[in-house]
Protein backbone atom coordinates (compact mmCIF):
# COMPACT_ATOMS: atom_id res chain seq x y z
CA UNK A 1 0.00 0.00 0.00
CA UNK A 2 2.80 2.44 0.81
CA UNK A 3 4.30 1.77 -2.65
CA UNK A 4 0.97 2.62 -4.32
CA UNK A 5 0.66 5.73 -2.18
CA UNK A 6 4.17 6.72 -3.25
CA UNK A 7 3.17 6.38 -6.92
CA UNK A 8 0.01 8.46 -6.49
CA UNK A 9 1.93 11.03 -4.44
CA UNK A 10 4.47 11.46 -7.24
CA UNK A 11 1.64 11.88 -9.79
CA UNK A 12 -0.21 14.40 -7.65
CA UNK A 13 2.97 16.34 -6.97
CA UNK A 14 3.00 17.08 -10.69
CA UNK A 15 -0.75 17.69 -10.97
CA UNK A 16 -0.76 20.08 -8.01
CA UNK A 17 2.34 22.02 -9.06
CA UNK A 18 0.27 24.82 -10.72
CA UNK A 19 -1.47 25.68 -7.42
CA UNK A 20 1.36 28.13 -6.67
CA UNK A 21 0.31 30.17 -9.73
CA UNK A 22 -3.44 29.63 -10.18
CA UNK A 23 -4.48 28.93 -6.58
CA UNK A 24 -5.86 26.00 -4.62
CA UNK A 25 -9.48 26.39 -5.72
CA UNK A 26 -8.77 26.20 -9.46
CA UNK A 27 -6.46 23.20 -9.11
CA UNK A 28 -8.83 21.33 -6.78
CA UNK A 29 -11.88 21.84 -9.03
CA UNK A 30 -9.96 21.04 -12.21
CA UNK A 31 -8.39 17.84 -10.85
CA UNK A 32 -11.78 16.70 -9.51
CA UNK A 33 -13.46 17.43 -12.85
CA UNK A 34 -10.78 15.67 -14.92
CA UNK A 35 -11.02 12.55 -12.79
CA UNK A 36 -14.80 12.65 -13.14
CA UNK A 37 -14.44 12.60 -16.93
CA UNK A 38 -11.79 9.85 -16.77
CA UNK A 39 -14.08 7.78 -14.55
CA UNK A 40 -16.92 8.25 -17.03
CA UNK A 41 -14.66 7.13 -19.87
CA UNK A 42 -13.57 4.08 -17.87
CA UNK A 43 -17.22 3.33 -17.08
CA UNK A 44 -17.97 3.28 -20.81
CA UNK A 45 -15.48 0.48 -21.42
CA UNK A 46 -16.07 -1.68 -18.34
CA UNK A 47 -19.88 -1.53 -18.30
CA UNK A 48 -22.44 -3.30 -20.47
CA UNK A 49 -23.37 -0.30 -22.62
CA UNK A 50 -25.72 -2.18 -24.97
CA UNK A 51 -27.56 -3.84 -22.10
CA UNK A 52 -27.93 -0.49 -20.30
CA UNK A 53 -29.38 1.10 -23.45
CA UNK A 54 -31.74 -1.86 -23.92
CA UNK A 55 -32.93 -1.69 -20.30
CA UNK A 56 -33.66 2.03 -20.66
CA UNK A 57 -35.59 1.47 -23.90
CA UNK A 58 -37.65 -1.34 -22.37
CA UNK A 59 -38.52 0.86 -19.37
CA UNK A 60 -39.77 3.54 -21.77
CA UNK A 61 -41.72 0.93 -23.74
CA UNK A 62 -43.47 -0.40 -20.64
CA UNK A 63 -44.32 3.14 -19.51
CA UNK A 64 -45.90 3.78 -22.91
CA UNK A 65 -47.76 0.48 -22.53
CA UNK A 66 -49.20 1.70 -19.22
CA UNK A 67 -50.28 4.94 -20.88
CA UNK A 68 -51.96 3.24 -23.84
CA UNK A 69 -53.72 0.47 -21.89
CA UNK A 70 -54.52 2.46 -18.76
CA UNK A 71 -58.09 1.11 -18.73
CA UNK A 72 -56.94 -2.53 -18.72
CA UNK A 73 -56.00 -3.43 -15.16
CA UNK A 74 -54.32 -6.74 -16.07
CA UNK A 75 -52.05 -5.22 -18.75
CA UNK A 76 -51.23 -2.21 -16.57
CA UNK A 77 -50.36 -4.43 -13.60
CA UNK A 78 -48.04 -6.60 -15.69
CA UNK A 79 -46.43 -3.50 -17.21
CA UNK A 80 -45.76 -2.05 -13.74
CA UNK A 81 -44.06 -5.30 -12.68
CA UNK A 82 -41.97 -5.21 -15.84
CA UNK A 83 -40.97 -1.57 -15.21
CA UNK A 84 -39.86 -2.42 -11.66
CA UNK A 85 -37.87 -5.41 -12.90
CA UNK A 86 -36.17 -3.42 -15.64
CA UNK A 87 -35.39 -0.64 -13.18
CA UNK A 88 -33.66 -3.16 -10.93
CA UNK A 89 -31.71 -4.49 -13.90
CA UNK A 90 -30.77 -0.95 -14.91
CA UNK A 91 -29.53 -0.10 -11.41
CA UNK A 92 -27.43 -3.28 -11.21
CA UNK A 93 -25.89 -2.65 -14.63
CA UNK A 94 -24.86 0.84 -13.50
CA UNK A 95 -23.80 -0.10 -9.97
CA UNK A 96 -21.49 -3.03 -10.67
CA UNK A 97 -18.91 -1.05 -12.71
CA UNK A 98 -18.63 1.50 -9.90
CA UNK A 99 -17.17 -1.15 -7.58
CA UNK A 100 -13.78 -1.31 -9.38
CA UNK A 101 -13.94 2.45 -10.07
CA UNK A 102 -14.20 3.18 -6.33
CA UNK A 103 -10.62 1.94 -5.78
CA UNK A 104 -8.78 4.64 -7.79
CA UNK A 105 -11.26 7.23 -6.53
CA UNK A 106 -10.26 6.36 -2.94
CA UNK A 107 -6.61 7.06 -3.76
CA UNK A 108 -7.53 10.33 -5.48
CA UNK A 109 -9.70 11.53 -2.60
CA UNK A 110 -7.00 10.66 -0.06
CA UNK A 111 -4.48 12.73 -1.97
CA UNK A 112 -6.85 15.71 -2.25
CA UNK A 113 -7.83 15.65 1.44
CA UNK A 114 -4.25 15.52 2.73
CA UNK A 115 -3.18 18.28 0.32
CA UNK A 116 -6.11 20.72 0.41
CA UNK A 117 -8.13 20.14 3.60
CA UNK A 118 -5.70 21.41 6.24
CA UNK A 119 -3.36 24.29 6.94
CA UNK A 120 -0.20 24.28 9.07
CA UNK A 121 -0.21 24.24 12.86
CA UNK A 122 0.26 27.75 14.21
CA UNK A 123 3.52 28.84 15.79
CA UNK A 124 3.23 30.14 19.37
CA UNK A 125 4.87 33.54 19.11
CA UNK A 126 4.49 34.55 22.79
CA UNK A 127 5.48 31.49 24.88
CA UNK A 128 5.63 33.47 28.11
CA UNK A 129 1.86 34.12 27.91
CA UNK A 130 0.75 30.61 26.97
CA UNK A 131 -1.80 28.60 28.95
CA UNK A 132 -1.62 24.89 29.68
CA UNK A 133 -3.64 22.92 27.15
CA UNK A 134 -3.19 25.46 24.35
CA UNK A 135 -0.61 23.41 22.46
CA UNK A 136 -0.54 20.05 20.71
CA UNK A 137 -0.38 16.66 22.43
CA UNK A 138 1.81 13.86 21.11
CA UNK A 139 -0.04 10.61 21.80
CA UNK A 140 1.57 7.16 21.58
CA UNK A 141 -0.44 3.93 21.73
CA UNK A 142 1.25 0.54 21.99
CA UNK A 143 -0.03 -2.32 19.84
CA UNK A 144 0.28 -5.38 22.05
CA UNK A 145 -1.77 -5.50 25.27
CA UNK A 146 0.66 -8.00 26.78
CA UNK A 147 3.41 -5.37 26.52
CA UNK A 148 1.48 -2.37 27.86
CA UNK A 149 3.87 -2.12 30.82
CA UNK A 150 6.65 -1.36 28.33
CA UNK A 151 5.12 2.10 27.84
CA UNK A 152 7.27 3.14 30.82
CA UNK A 153 10.28 2.91 28.50
CA UNK A 154 8.84 5.05 25.68
CA UNK A 155 11.06 7.99 24.75
CA UNK A 156 10.15 11.02 22.60
CA UNK A 157 12.79 13.27 21.05
CA UNK A 158 11.91 16.66 19.62
CA UNK A 159 13.77 18.66 16.97
CA UNK A 160 14.71 22.29 17.31
CA UNK A 161 11.51 24.31 17.01
CA UNK A 162 9.37 21.95 19.11
CA UNK A 163 9.40 22.30 22.89
CA UNK A 164 7.89 19.90 25.43
CA UNK A 165 5.78 21.92 27.89
CA UNK A 166 4.54 19.07 30.07
CA UNK A 167 6.01 15.87 31.50
CA UNK A 168 5.78 12.69 29.42
CA UNK A 169 2.78 11.00 31.02
CA UNK A 170 2.64 7.19 30.77
CA UNK A 171 -0.48 5.11 31.41
CA UNK A 172 0.64 1.45 31.66
CA UNK A 173 -2.83 -0.14 31.94
CA UNK A 174 -3.78 1.55 28.62
CA UNK A 175 -0.39 1.19 26.94
CA UNK A 176 -0.48 4.89 26.20
CA UNK A 177 1.85 7.84 26.63
CA UNK A 178 1.27 11.50 25.87
CA UNK A 179 2.98 14.86 26.18
CA UNK A 180 2.02 18.43 25.36
CA UNK A 181 4.33 20.42 23.10
CA UNK A 182 4.50 23.96 21.78
CA UNK A 183 5.59 24.90 18.27
CA UNK A 184 8.28 27.58 18.49
CA UNK A 185 9.48 27.77 14.88
CA UNK A 186 7.78 27.26 11.50
CA UNK A 187 8.82 24.27 9.43
CA UNK A 188 8.25 20.57 8.89
CA UNK A 189 9.34 18.95 12.15
CA UNK A 190 10.16 15.24 12.58
CA UNK A 191 9.43 13.87 16.08
CA UNK A 192 11.16 10.60 17.03
CA UNK A 193 9.34 8.06 19.21
CA UNK A 194 11.41 5.13 20.51
CA UNK A 195 10.85 1.95 22.46
CA UNK A 196 13.48 -0.76 22.80
CA UNK A 197 15.27 -1.06 19.49
CA UNK A 198 12.48 0.52 17.41
CA UNK A 199 12.21 4.19 16.46
CA UNK A 200 9.45 5.79 14.40
CA UNK A 201 8.99 9.32 13.10
CA UNK A 202 5.87 11.50 13.24
CA UNK A 203 5.75 14.69 11.24
CA UNK A 204 4.36 17.94 12.61
CA UNK A 205 3.82 20.46 9.83
CA UNK A 206 4.07 24.10 10.85
CA UNK A 207 5.40 25.25 7.46
CA UNK A 208 3.35 27.94 5.70
CA UNK A 209 1.96 27.09 2.28
CA UNK A 210 1.01 23.87 0.57
CA UNK A 211 1.85 20.49 2.01
CA UNK A 212 0.52 17.01 2.75
CA UNK A 213 -0.76 16.84 6.30
CA UNK A 214 -2.22 14.12 8.49
CA UNK A 215 -2.64 14.06 12.25
CA UNK A 216 -2.13 10.34 12.91
CA UNK A 217 0.25 7.60 11.80
CA UNK A 218 -1.17 4.12 12.41
CA UNK A 219 -1.09 0.49 11.43
CA UNK A 220 -3.66 -1.00 9.06
CA UNK A 221 -4.67 -1.19 5.40
CA UNK A 222 -7.52 1.31 5.52
CA UNK A 223 -5.50 3.89 7.42
CA UNK A 224 -2.76 3.60 4.78
CA UNK A 225 -5.38 3.98 2.03
CA UNK A 226 -7.04 7.06 3.51
CA UNK A 227 -3.95 8.86 4.84
CA UNK A 228 -1.02 8.76 2.38
CA UNK A 229 0.95 11.77 3.66
CA UNK A 230 3.12 9.52 5.84
CA UNK A 231 3.99 5.84 5.61
CA UNK A 232 1.80 3.60 7.75
CA UNK A 233 3.32 1.94 10.78
CA UNK A 234 4.64 -1.60 10.06
CA UNK A 235 2.30 -4.42 11.01
CA UNK A 236 4.93 -5.78 13.44
CA UNK A 237 5.62 -2.41 15.06
CA UNK A 238 5.36 -2.08 18.84
CA UNK A 239 3.39 1.11 18.16
CA UNK A 240 -0.23 0.96 17.07
CA UNK A 241 -0.64 4.72 16.68
CA UNK A 242 1.46 7.86 16.95
CA UNK A 243 -0.79 10.89 16.70
CA UNK A 244 -1.04 14.63 17.14
CA UNK A 245 -4.04 15.85 19.14
CA UNK A 246 -5.31 19.36 19.71
CA UNK A 247 -6.68 20.04 23.19
CA UNK A 248 -8.78 22.97 21.99
CA UNK A 249 -10.11 21.89 18.60
CA UNK A 250 -11.68 18.77 17.09
CA UNK A 251 -9.09 18.79 14.29
CA UNK A 252 -5.36 19.01 15.04
CA UNK A 253 -4.57 20.78 11.79
CA UNK A 254 -6.77 23.83 11.16
CA UNK A 255 -9.02 23.80 8.07
CA UNK A 256 -7.39 25.45 5.07
CA UNK A 257 -8.83 28.63 3.58
CA UNK A 258 -10.43 27.80 0.22
CA UNK A 259 -12.38 31.02 -0.13
CA UNK A 260 -15.96 30.34 -1.22
CA UNK A 261 -15.50 26.57 -1.14
CA UNK A 262 -16.23 24.51 2.03
CA UNK A 263 -13.12 23.61 4.01
CA UNK A 264 -11.91 20.63 5.97
CA UNK A 265 -11.98 16.97 4.95
CA UNK A 266 -15.76 16.94 4.49
CA UNK A 267 -15.59 20.05 2.31
CA UNK A 268 -12.93 18.52 0.05
CA UNK A 269 -15.00 15.34 -0.39
CA UNK A 270 -18.07 17.45 -1.26
CA UNK A 271 -16.16 19.59 -3.78
CA UNK A 272 -14.68 16.48 -5.38
CA UNK A 273 -18.05 14.76 -5.75
CA UNK A 274 -19.86 17.83 -7.10
CA UNK A 275 -17.10 18.82 -9.55
CA UNK A 276 -16.54 15.27 -10.81
CA UNK A 277 -20.28 14.70 -11.36
CA UNK A 278 -20.73 18.09 -13.05
CA UNK A 279 -17.82 17.59 -15.45
CA UNK A 280 -18.96 14.01 -16.05
CA UNK A 281 -22.52 15.12 -16.83
CA UNK A 282 -21.21 17.61 -19.39
CA UNK A 283 -19.12 14.85 -21.03
CA UNK A 284 -21.84 12.16 -21.26
CA UNK A 285 -23.10 13.14 -24.72
CA UNK A 286 -19.72 13.98 -26.30
CA UNK A 287 -18.30 10.65 -25.09
CA UNK A 288 -21.51 8.80 -26.05
CA UNK A 289 -21.81 7.03 -22.71
CA UNK A 290 -24.93 5.15 -21.66
CA UNK A 291 -25.59 5.66 -17.98
pLDDT digits (tens, 9 = 90+) for 134-159: 679 999 999 988 888 899 999 999 99
- On the question of pLDDT at 126 being above 80, the answer is no
Provide φ and ψ at 155, rounded to 5°: -125, 140
CA 44 to chain centre: 26
Domains and CATH numbers, the chain: 2-118+261-287 (no CATH), 127-246 (2.60.40)
Number of other residues whose CB lies within 10 A of the CB of residue 290: 18
Average pLDDT over residues 219-240: 91
Q: Are 111 and 12 in contact (CB under 8 A)?
A: yes
Give the pLDDT of residue 178: 93
pLDDT (tens digit per residue) in 20-78: 888 899 999 999 999 999 999 988 888 888 888 888 888 888 888 888 888 788 888 88
pLDDT at 73: 80
Residue 146 DSSP SS3: helix
pTM recorded for the entire structure:
0.83
Checking if the pLDDT of 268 tops 90, the result is yes
Give the Cα separation of 177 and 139 in Å (integer): 6
Tell me the Cα Rg of the chain: 26
Amino acid sequence: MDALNGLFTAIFDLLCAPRAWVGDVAVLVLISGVFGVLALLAFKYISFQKRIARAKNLIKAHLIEIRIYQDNLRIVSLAIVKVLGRNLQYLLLNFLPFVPLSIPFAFVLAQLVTRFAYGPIAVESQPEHRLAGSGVVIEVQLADESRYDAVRDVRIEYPSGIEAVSPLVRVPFEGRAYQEVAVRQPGLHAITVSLGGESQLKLLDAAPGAGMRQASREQGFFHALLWPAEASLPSDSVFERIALRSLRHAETYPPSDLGWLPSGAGGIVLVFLVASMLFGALAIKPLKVQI
